[in-house]
Every structure is written in structure tokens, then in C-alpha cells.
Structure 1
Amino acid sequence: MEFNKTEYFTFLYWIRRLLLYSDYLFSFLGTSLNLLLLYLLIRIKNNEFLEYRRILFHTTISDIIFSPTIAFSALAMEPGKNYIFAWPTGVINYLPKYLRIVKGYSMNNFQYGTSILFIFIWNIIGFNFWIKAFTDVSLRDYHLAKKELPKEFFFDSYGNEMRVFIAKPLEFSGLLCVLHVLITLIFVLITVCFTYLAVLKTLKVKRSSMSKKSKLLHRQLSISMLLHTGISLFSVFLPIFLLLGCIIFQKKLYGIGHIFFYIFEYIPTFNALISIYFVTYCKKEFLKLIGKHKTNCHNKLIELFEMYAPKVGHSHINFNGRIADILVKAGHDVTFLTPKLSNIAFINGTKLAKIISVEPHPYVAEKFFETSALKNMWNLDENIINAFDLFSSMSNLMIISCEHLIDQKEITQQIVKEKYDVMIAEYFTTCPIGLADHYNVSSLIVTSAMTFNDIVYPLIGLNFPSSYVPGSFMPFKEKMTYKERVINTLQYVTLKYYLENILFKKYEELFLRKTKTKFNKIKNNFGAIFVNTVPWMDFPFPITPKVHFIGGSGVPEPKNISKEWDEILSLRKKNILLSFGSVAQAFKMPVSYKKGIIEMMKEMEDITFIWKYEKKSDTLPLEIPKNVFISNWVPQNDLLNDKRITIFITHGGLNSITEAVSRGKVTLTIPLFGDQIRNAQMVERLNISKVFNKYQLSNSKLLIDAINHLLNNIDVYSKNVHKQQSLMKNRPFTAEETIIKITEFIGKHGNLPEMDLYSSKMSSFIFYNLDIILPALFIFLFFIICTIRAIIYIFKHFYLFKKKTKVE
């Protein structure tokens, strides 16, 4: 029966014309949708979904490359009894995509390159097999095949007869083609299965450290991956299996070739649609979960926060304990982890949180108070060497304590089992960042019981402005002399070098050895920084959006003083409170200092002195005057709240200064060591305090002069301190609100890498634009040199010419 052109054009012409242009449609849709998917993947920032993003990223890139060439590599076949119209080499195109994913798990660059080369060679071999099979078919076979296969395969869309590829699968050349397809099929199946299992294994490990809300969405993403892979395999394998079945059982499937050809062409489009749907669906569900928690954050939100607070001193414990209590009152479940550094009985710091206490390492307990700074703080010189010695000595003990904490397997298991959402830890050293990763806590907030710590600047990508911001242990104000700026800069450069080249490497070695964590990659992985200061009282310094001021959060509400203290304050019109804090115990000061203080008190008999002194009065070198009351403990905050206290003599600890400002008290600051030296300068510049050198405590006359200076100018000092007190009371957001809101925000959204300054990843050479400045300077100098030489040349030429003219 002859082919009816009229019937062909009537029924199939427009369909065939449409299908002819479908090649371009499929290529366009596949490329466009995968580009859209690529845009959505780039916008995924949540760390918990980065592994899925990496996998989908590779498949999307492969489909973008594959889409424009889909019509030339698609799987087309039409089985007859003895002949097949076929071109099934398209199956090989799926191997590079899966090999690229596997490369991230178990293949190095050489293995991956070798695999891609093998695929290329294998594809060429298959191509030649099919060409051989096609050319072995005689003209007689071709006419016999036209009777077995649908006639539309032999005519173009205009009804003109065309020569097509025909193969005989039961002959040697055809069997080679079939064998090539089978081997390829097996290799593809093994590769895909291995890829999928490797991905699932990795994601299973990562899911153990994910937040609860993220885990709820991973099933949908896993389904997306399964469909993404399954549709591709189905579109490839089904035609091959049907082809083999028809060959074995000598069956014909008229017209089925068109169906499989266009299904195969549509694979990149299907993949993109599936992935786009699941990515957008999971994004919406993720936002719904966040919104649900946000509306109930004060009463129904159940989140777990872990506080890490080494017992360095009472002020540090109180500061972090206060944060814990604020969060407990806000309805959160808080565990207070307190690794001890000594066997001395410290306070717990928190009244409401659960406590996990860790006994100190024997060596740390022995050496903690033997460090030169803590042992000799009354005689320690205020210089850069001693400041660095204090920091390095404490850092070395902290490293041992950090390792000791990691070795507490039971505590680690307990913390990991609880699945905390946020860890809040004091950044006294860098241990908390590694601990957060060790405990599988995805979000971290670091605190500073002091002012903004110098060691944080390079981690958050800021340059420490040593020209106008004094270092944490420097006795300078913001307006420094040349010598002071040199010392301040030298202090920071030395500290930065120690951090980056010694301390960080020690922690990196520790965590790599103990937990296999690459510390260098997570050293700035935190979501917020709580600083125990307020911006109007501290020296102004540059910050990032991750820095939050919570100064005053550690100041408890004052209570009414007891009858005993009330009677003492009523004895005289003026009262002075003298306290050097908890670490710097007054009984340990040199005898000459004690004599100077007592002689000063004796001379100023019209003032009542309340002195926090940890021993009995008989341990003092002189007899105590009648206007002096000694106690080993005083209700400092409650006394400062009393209007009868005129002056507060303090060591300059940040909590003591904040308490004094909150209660509107003028201070005489006698800094001993550490950040107290800077704190003293900080409040003196506001004209609310006067700094007194500790080495002059033996000189009672100088001490009397300093106190009289404050008393004679008490109106001026009181006015200034009351201004600071008003700022504390009327701040836009209280410290408690900041702590609660920021902690809940980080608990819901993670560490927010979007807010990290890129400068934290830059080298100093690029950060300071030296790659721009140096070439420009070179060009400028070159221009100056050329100009000078030109002037010299012109001058010499003119001078010699003029001289020659005169001679003539």
C-alpha cells in the first residue's frame, strides 16, 4: 500500500510540524526553568540546607548545559521484529551529572577527570558501534524495514521520503550496540545508586545537628531528590527495556518511539519543575514555622539555651548568670554550664537556671591564682608586657580547661541529647565557638563581661582604631599622645599576632585532635555579641549589626538596707563606701597601702567609711578609727542606692562602675589590673569619676587631696553622673529586652552569616587597599622622578646653550 500524502497532511501534518519545533521549545523551557531554579538555589542561605543546595546546584548546571543539545542526544527508538529505528546514546549524558555529585563525597580531582574522560571515550565507542550497525544494513533490508516500522519515520514533515537509520539487532554489529547499551545502563544504575546512598548518609549525619523546624522540611526535600532522580532514570531505562524486550520476543511497538523521544527531551524541564516546586514549598513552610513560633515566643515557645560561663571571677559569673535568669523569666529552658578554674568556692551566678558544674583540671586549679597578674595584682605594673602576660597566662589555662571540658563524655552526651537551640558563652577565649560545634548547637551568642574585647575585632572583620580607641588593658583616653598611640598600636598588633599565629592554632589543633573540627573555618561563627557596656558611657568604637549593648543587665534591683546599715549611714552627713571587688581582696594589699588608707580615714573624721575588708580588724597594721566600719561583705548595690552615700571608692570593675552610675554615685577609681585600668579612664573622661594611682595609696595626703577634690566639686560631678543615670533609665530598649529579643531571634534564624562583614575573609593587603595604593604611589613617584629629571635636563641644556652662546 502506497503512502497517502493527502491523508498524511490531513491527520499528521500539523502535529508533526508542532513536534518538529518542540525541539526548540524543550530546549528553551529546560534552559529557562533551570536558570530560575539556579537563582532560587543561590538565595538559599540557611546553613542546614547547604548540602541540598550543593546537590541540586550540580544537577541544575548539568541540565542547563544539557538542554540546548537535547534534540541531538535524546533517546529515540522504534522496535520492529527484525529491525529497529534507534539512536540510544543519550543515556550516557546522565553520567557526568551524577559523577559530579559523587565527587564531593568519594572522588578526588584525578578520579573525577579520569571518569569524565572514560565517559567521553565510551560515548565515542558507542557512536561508532551504531554507525557500523547502520551502514551494515543493505538497501534490501531497508525496504523490508519499511514494512515493519511506521511509515512516518521515513517521511519528513512535508511528506517527502528521507533516508533514516536502520539497524539489525540480531546481527553482530547490532548485538554490539545492544551490549554497549546494557553495560552503559548498568554503569549508570550503579553510579546513581551510589550517589543517592552517599547523599543520604551525609544528610543523615548533618540532620543530627539540625534544628527541629529544619528537620520537618527535609522529608520533602528528600522526596524532591528521589523524584528528580527517578524521572530521569525512568525516562532512560524504560525505552531501553522495551527495546530489549521487543528484540528478544520479536514484537513491534508502532509509534512508541515518538513518545519516548519527547519524554526524554523533557527531562531537564521536569527536573526543574519538581525542584522549583519543592524549594518554594519548603521556603513557605519554613516561614510559617518561624511565624508560628514568633507569635507565641513569650509563653509557649520551648527553646533550650545553654550558658557557658567559666568561673573566672564573681563579676563574670554574675553577668552571665543574670542573662540566664532573664531568659528563664522569659519562659525559656536554660542550662548554666560552669567549668571551674579553681577550687575556691565561687557563687553560682544564677538563681533560676539549671546548673551543670564541672570540677577544675588539677593543674588549672593549682596554677590559676599563681599567675603573675592574679597573685601580684596590688604590685603589678600597668604596662603592655604585664597586660600581655595576664592574657597569655589565662589563655593557656583556658586551653587546658577547654580540653578538660571536652573530655567530660557524660556531660557531652547529656548536652547533645538535650538538642539545644542556642549556646550563649563568654568570649574570654575562643573555646566556646568550638564547643558549640562539639555540642551540635547550631546557633551561638558570645558575651563579654568587660567592654568590647580587642580579640573580637579581627573575627568580625573590623579594623581596631588604635589611634582613638584605647585597648582593653590600656590606661589611655581617646585623645592620646604620640607615645600613647605607639603603645596602643603595639599592644593590639602584638595581641592580634598572638591570636592568629599562636592561640587560634592551639585551639585548632585541640579541636582537630579531639572533635575533628576545623576550628579555623568556624572561628567567627556566631550570631550576636552581648557587650557589658552602654555606648554613651564607653569610648565610641566601630561595631557591626551583630554587636548589642546590654550594660546594666547585671545590676539587680536594690533592696532596702538593714537596720544596722541604716544606723551606720545616719551617724554622719557624709559616707564613703570602699570596696575593691571579689578578686582583689583588700587583706592582700601591701602593708604600706593599708597604713595610707587608715591614716586617710583617721584624718577625715567627719566622714563615715565603710570598708569591705575580708579579714578581722586585728590583721590591720594600725588601729581602726571610730569613723570606720569594716565588713567582709557589704550589700554594695543596696548601699549605693542610698542617698547618704557620697562617694564610692572602687577598683574600676565594669559591674561596679555600672552599679555606681545606675545609682547616681560619684566614684574615686583605683584600678588594679586588666580592664579596670581602661574603665577608670573611660568614666574619668565623662567627669563623673577621678582616677587615683594604686601605687600612691601609701601616701595618705595624696589620697585625702583626691577625695577632697571630689567633695569640693560634688555638684559638678553629681550633675554629670545623674545625666548618665538618666540615660541608663530612659534608654530606648532595656538590656533585658535586648537579651530576650536577640536571643529568640538568633534561636529562630541561626547565626545570620548575611550580617558578617566580608572583610573578615580578606587579607590585610587587600583590606587596606595596598594593591591600589602601592601601584598608585609607584606611578606617582615615577612621575615625580621623570619630572625632576626633565627639569634637570632642560636646565642643563639651557645653561650649556647659554654658556656656549656667550663664548661665541
Structure 2
Amino acid sequence: MKSLYIILSILSVISIGNAAKILCVFPAGAHSHYTIGYSLVKGLAAKGHQVTFASPFESKESIKNLKTIYLEDVQKQAEERFSKRSIFDIVNVPALAMIPLVGDMGLWTSEVTYSDKAIQTILNSNETYDAVITEAFATDALQGIAYHFNAPSILVTTIGPSIWTNYVTASPSMYSYMTNPFLAYTQKMTFCQRVINILTAFLQNSLNVIYFFPQQDKILHKYIPDAPNLYELIKNTSLYLFNSDPVLNVPLPLVPNTIEIGGIHIEPPKKLPEDLQKFLDDSKEGVIYFSMGGNLKSKELPQATRDAILRVFSKLKEKVLWKFEEDLPGKPKNVEIRKWLPQQDILAHPNVKLFITHGGLLSTVESLSRGVPVVGIPVFGDQALNMQNAVTRGYGISVPYKEFTEEKLSSALQEMLGNSSYSQIAKEMSTLMNDKQVKQIDKAAYWIEYVIRHKGAPHLRVAAHELTWYQYYSLDVILFLILIKIVLIKVFWIVSRKLCKRLCNKKQTKQKKN
């Protein structure tokens, strides 16, 4: 017993000695984004690191080694900005228009984050940090926080590798199969889709270079005057963590300092509240779980859409558990509503047959981790792409919100309830997704600690950032080779012409002599 105590004491000292001070800033007002950040910092705190986590969500949970800071100003301004219209209205925004919309939102987020009183207090403090983690969502100026504290810059994104991230990581951008998230194309694009995809990429890159990067640079130097230019900060990014998984998303080429940690927020099933446990246990015919996520509110669905959904549900023998944020008059007897539901724990119940979802990445990850197939009603962002992946792989059916009808929803439910292949594929995908060498939080923590140990780990960064765009694509080399080819052809033509002329002259001279 005494030996065990000595060993534990030694391990404790080692753990304290390796502990790092880490600042994590997640300014997005979307709860799904907060979930990823909070899961990461909880895991880092559990490993003994002293973590400060700043976000526009208040946390009432007390966790050892974790200090939470409420970005009150960010939250208030976000409520003012986004309360004027329903998020469901975004469905009418064309895919191409989403590019400047996201860019503008990124500028706004960078500005209000820096100006928040809590962030200003942090920046003006005498604190030191071993690493600074910031959420990356078109908010490049926030990398100045890491520069301010002379700490390695680590980025986390709630999506997977894409054109939105490759300019930071310098991972290969192969537009022949790497699609823009807003276009919702599969990797096997038609010729026309590849044309649209590459033109969309050109538009986004052009807008970034001409407008959004210079504006982000202005915000950066407004609050961090001594910072280098934005491009220097971008190329010195130490680590990029993606909320993606090749099983769920698609396999893509990644450079060494990019790590996929999709499913980091997944936890073992916990005991359900008694009323929910009884409801699920007693539903022998099965349960359909329905939630539109944290940002989209079911109560904001148009009345006609809501009524159509209820008519579909009323014809089912299965019970429906619906996350609905207020009372729902006229709901059928087989429909049970709650303002909030423990989604991961519900999806783990064996009586849950399928999940009706908006197609958000976190919800998709949670459904697959539990082996539950999905019927998606994607509205905006990457939701359509997530559902397209689900359809392609055979564990989901998509009913896009802008194409929604009562008949389409009914048909999708009947198809999935009557065809066991969806459930079977979801279970197979769950096995693949859960087959990990280590837990995702352990993977993330290892690489964060690695970057801290090795002073930013510059040896992991590729040289692509040192090249101009035409050098990166070898356009100068290609042009040079084309010119060489043209010169050689020209020389060959001139020489051939002269030889032919000389031969002709000799032939004519010989004929005259004869």
C-alpha cells in the first residue's frame, strides 16, 4: 500500500510538472461550436492543464483546472444581430451568396470578440500562456491573441477540411473532388458540377484576397498594433484540429500539423431521467427521435410545415419524441415533446429506430456513434453536404427544407422504417467510427502538448506558405516548359525549312547541269 502511495505521488508530481497554461477562445454564438470547444477544454483540464475558456455561453459547471470566462458583450451583440429574422430564412440564400455572408460574419465576430470587455481584460493582464487555442470560422484576425502572448497558435474548426481551411494549413486543394460545403456535391462530381465547384473556389479565393483578408488585417492591427501582417500569422499556425472523421465525412489529403478529432464530444451513455426512461422502455413499437439542433428552433417552423409534420406523425404506429421549445397544441397522442433532451443518451436507447435531424455535423456524429440512421431536413451551411454523405453511404435519406412536403417526409419515414438496410449500415458505420486507436480527446491533447513541448513545432509546417500562388501550382514552370516547347518547335520548323530549301536548290542545280 505504501509503495502504491509513493508511485501515485510521483505520477502526481510528473503530471503537475508537465501541466501547461492554455487559453481557449470560442466566440461563435452557435451552441454546437461551443460544445466542441467545451469538450476539448474539459479534456485538457482533466489531464492537469490549467485552462481558461472564453465563450459567449455561461457555464454553471465547476471543473478542476478550468476557468470559464463569459463573453457577455459578444452574446448581447449576437442576440441583437440575429434576433431580427429566423435562421430558417437562410434557406433562400443561394450557395454563392453564402460566401460573402460567412466572410462578413467572420469580420463581425473578430471585431466584437476583440472589443469584448472580458477579452480586453485578458489581453491587458500580465498572464502568460503556453498555447492559445482559437476557433477558426473566417476569424483569422483572432490569431493575433496567440501572437500577443508569444504562444503557439492552435486553431479548432467545427467542420472538416475544405476550401475554408486549406489556405491556413496549405493542404492540397483538389477541386476535382474537394467540394465547397455550400454546394453539397459528392466527391464524384459531374463535369458541370466540377465547373461550378472550381468557379466557386475562384470566387471565394478572390474575395478573400481582395477584401476579407485586408479587412481582417485591419481588425488585427487595430487591437494588436505590433502584430505582423495577417499572412505571417496564418503561415505560422502550429496546429489545426478538425471536427471531422473520414468515416463520417470524406477522406482528404492532410499535412502533418492538421489532425482530425471528429466525435471528441461523444460521451458514454448516461442514465436517463425516469420519465424519459419509462417513455422509451414502454415504446415497444419503437421511437422516432426528432430535433432540429441548438440553433434552429422547431418552434420557429412555419405553421403550415408544423401541421404537415404532425399529420405525418399521427399516421405512425411508432412514438415520436420531439425537441420542441414551447407548447404544441393539437399534437397527436403518439407525440411527446420536451424543451430540452439529452440527445446522446436518447440515441443510445435500443428502442430508437431513427433520428429526424437538421443534418448538423454534431447530430450526425452522435447518430452514427450510436448506430442510428437519419432522415435529414437540411436548412443551411454544411447540413446539406452532411446529409448528402449520409445518402451516398446508405444510412440516411434527405428531405431538404426548401423542398419539404408532407408527402416527401412520409415517404422517407416509411422507406426507412420498412427497409432494415439503413439501420444495418448505420450500425456498421458506428463500428468503423468507434474503432479508434485512442480516444479523440487523448489524440487532441497529445498534439497540443506536442506543439507546446516543441515550441510551436515549426518542423510540421509545409513549405507551401513560402510560395506564391503561381509557384504553388507550378504555373511558372508550366509556362516555361510551354515556351521551351514553342521555341523548339519554331527552331525545328526554321531548320527544316532551310534544309528543304537547300535540298531543293541542289536538286535544281543538278537538273540544270544535266
What is aligned with 1:387?
Answer: 98
**Does residue 1:467 correspond to 2:176, yes or no?**
yes
Q: Secondary structure at the match of 1:533?
A: coil
Number of residue-to-residue matches in the alignment: 490
What is aligned with 1:617?
328
Q: How far, CA to CA, are the matches of 2:208 and 2:337 in structure 1? A: 43
Aligned to 1:683: 390
Going from structure 1 to structure 2, the CA distance change for 1:456 and 1:419 (only over 3 Å counts) comes to same
The answer to whether the 8 A contact 1:687-1:717 is kept is yes
Instruction: State yes or no: 1:360 paired with 2:47.
Output: no
Q: Deviations over 1:211-240 (max 9, x none)?
A: xxxxxxxxxxxxxxxxxxxxxxxxxxxxxx
Counterpart contact for 1:434–1:519, Cα < 8 Å:
no
CA distance in 2, matches of 1:302, 1:670: 44
2:344 paired with 1:637: yes
User: Contact between 1:508 and 1:519, CA under 8 Å: does it hold in 2?
Assistant: yes
Kindly indicate whether the alpha-carbon contact (under 8 Å) linking 1:553 and 1:736 is maintained by their aligned counterparts in 2.
Answer: yes
Instruction: Name the SS for the 1:457 alignment partner.
Output: helix
State whether residues 384 and 487 of structure 1, in contact with CA within 8 Å, keep that contact through their aligned partners in structure 2.
no
Please say if residues 261 and 443 of structure 2, whose CA atoms lie closer than 8 Å, have aligned partners that are also in contact: yes
Structure 2 residue 465 is matched with structure 1 residue 753: no
2:269 corresponds, among 558, 574, 583, to 558
Alpha-carbon distance in structure 2 between the residues aligned to 1:766 and 1:380: 39
SS of equivalent to 2:88: coil
2:447 corresponds to: 742
Asked if residue 528 in structure 1 is aligned to residue 239 in structure 2, the reply is: yes
Map Cα deviations across residues 307-344 of structure 1 (whole Å, 9 max, x no partner). 11114211111110011110111111111112x3xxxx
Amino acid at match of 1:707: L
Cα distance 1:792–1:592, how it changes in 2: closer, same or farther (>3 A)?
A: farther
Question: d(CA) in 2 for partners of 1:296 and 1:687?
Answer: 50
Displacement of 1:409: 4.1
Contact 1:450/1:533, CA 8 A, preserved across alignment: yes
C-alpha contact 1:476 1:484 (8 A) present in aligned 2: yes
1:518 to 2:231 alignment: no
Report the Cα offset of residue 391 of structure 1. 0.4
Report the Cα distance in structure 2 between the residues aligned to 1:398 and 1:463, rounded to whole angstroms.
28
Cα distance in 2, alignment partners of residues 543 and 485 from structure 1: 21
Q: 2:43 aligns with which of 326, 329, 344?
A: 326
| Cα distance in structure 2, aligned partners of 1:530 and 1:617 | 40
The 1:362–1:655 alpha-carbon spacing in structure 2 relative to 1, beyond 3 Å, is closer
Instruction: Check the 8 A contact 1:574/1:646 in 2, yes or no.
Output: yes
Name the CA shift for 1:746/1:351 in 2 (closer, same or farther; >3 Å). farther
More helix by share: 1
| SS in structure 2 at match of 1:682 | helix
Q: What is the identity, as a one-letter code, of the residue corresponding to 2:409?
A: L
**8 Å contact 1:322–1:349 — kept in the other structure?**
no
Aligned counterparts, 1:515-664, within 5 A: 515-516=224-225, 517-520=227-230, 521-569=232-280, 570-604=282-316, 606-618=317-329, 623-664=330-371
CA distance in 2, matches of 1:295, 1:543: 36
- The answer to whether the Cα contact below 8 Å between 1:380 and 1:386 also exists between their aligned partners in 2 is no
Partner of 1:455: 164
Matching of residues 339-378 of structure 1 within 5 Å? 340=56, 346-348=57-59, 352=63, 353-360=66-73, 364-365=77-78, 367-369=80-82, 375-378=86-89
- Residue 418 (structure 1) shift: 2.5
Alignment of 1:408-487 (within 5 A): 409-414=120-125, 417-428=126-137, 429-438=139-148, 440-487=149-196
Report the more deviating stretch, 637-646 or 381-390.
381-390
The equivalent position to 2:53 in structure 1, one of 314, 328, 336, is: 336
Paired letter, 1:633: W
Distance 1:363 1:614 in 2: 21
Counterpart in the other structure of 1:674: 381
> Offset at 1:489?
1.6
Kindly indicate whether the alpha-carbon contact (under 8 Å) linking 2:141 and 2:217 is maintained by their aligned counterparts in 1: no
1:591-616 CA-to-partner distances (Å, cap 9, x unmatched) read 22212211211222x11111111121
**Matching residue within 746, 768, 792 for 2:473:** 768
CA contact (8 A) 1:406 1:412 kept: no
CA gap of 1:311–1:769, structure 2 versus 1, over 3 A, is closer
Residue 711 of structure 1 corresponds to 417
Change (3 A) 1:334 1:589: same
| Counterpart position of 1:399 | 110
> Does the aligned pair in 1 maintain the 2:111–2:219 contact within 8 Å?
no
Shift of 1:712: 2.4
Shift of 1:296: 6.1
Please, what TM-score do these two structures have when normalized by structure 2?
0.88
Q: Residue 445 of structure 1: CA displacement?
A: 1.4
Structure 1 partner of 2:18: 301
One-letter amino acid of the counterpart of residue 410, structure 1: T
Question: Structure 1 CA distance, aligned partners of 2:16 and 2:224?
Answer: 36
> What CA deviation, in whole Å up to 9, does each residue of 1:511-544 have, x standing for no partner?
3233221233222322211111112221111211
Q: 1:375 to 1:486 in 2, by over 3 A?
A: farther
Question: Any stretches of 5+ residues in structure 1 without a counterpart?
Answer: 1-292, 341-345
Residue 3 of structure 2 is matched in structure 1 by none
Q: Which has the larger radius of gyration?
A: 1
- C-alpha spacing 1:645/1:366, structure 2 compared with 1 (3 Å): closer
Identity %: 23
**What residue number does 1:286 align with?**
none
Deviations 1:258-315, CA, capped at 9 Å, x for gaps: xxxxxxxxxxxxxxxxxxxxxxxxxxxxxxxxxxx99965354332111111142111
d(CA) in 2 for partners of 1:498, 1:547: 25
Runs of at least 5 residues in structure 2 that lack an aligned partner in the other structure = 1-9
Q: Look up the SS of the partner of 1:720 in the other structure.
A: helix
